[in-house]
Amino acid sequence: MNEQENTVKQYEEEEGLPELAQVAMRVVIDAGDAKIAAEQALKKLHTFDFTGAEELMEQAFAQLQKAHDAQTEVIQNEAAGTRYENSFIFNHAQDTMMTAMTQCSLTREIIELYKILYREIHKDKA
């Protein structure tokens, strides 16, 4: 369990964090972890380490899926009649997830561009 997860657990236990805030914290953590993995994947490209970059992107997309699943649960609950007050932290969580999704999508495209560049650089050497 990382430091962020410990913080969420502490709030849940000590302050009885409302359900929506718990979900929001989970989304922020998972989306944040996805962004970190995507950033690390970009760094792998500096040495043309495509395997390492793709492994990190698998992790990033797995974290995004966890964030998406948590958000979807809230949306489905609301569609089924559960009412939530407007929550700044949940809005922040959705924003964090959307930026993580964009970052991961762009990183995936950058990886493909690096592969093309690598092939072009090395085509005469093969």
What secondary structure does DSSP assign to 31-48, as a single string? HHHHHHHHHHHHHHHTTT
46 is catalytic: no
Taking the C-alpha atoms of residue 31 and residue 28, their distance in angstroms, rounded to an integer, is: 5
Compute CA distances 25 → 43, 84, 99, whole Å.
Answer: 27, 16, 16
Residue listed under structure tokens 């962020």 = 4
What tokens does 124 get?
A: 């005469």
Set 46, 68, 92, 122: catalytic member: 92
Q: Which residues are catalytic?
A: 92
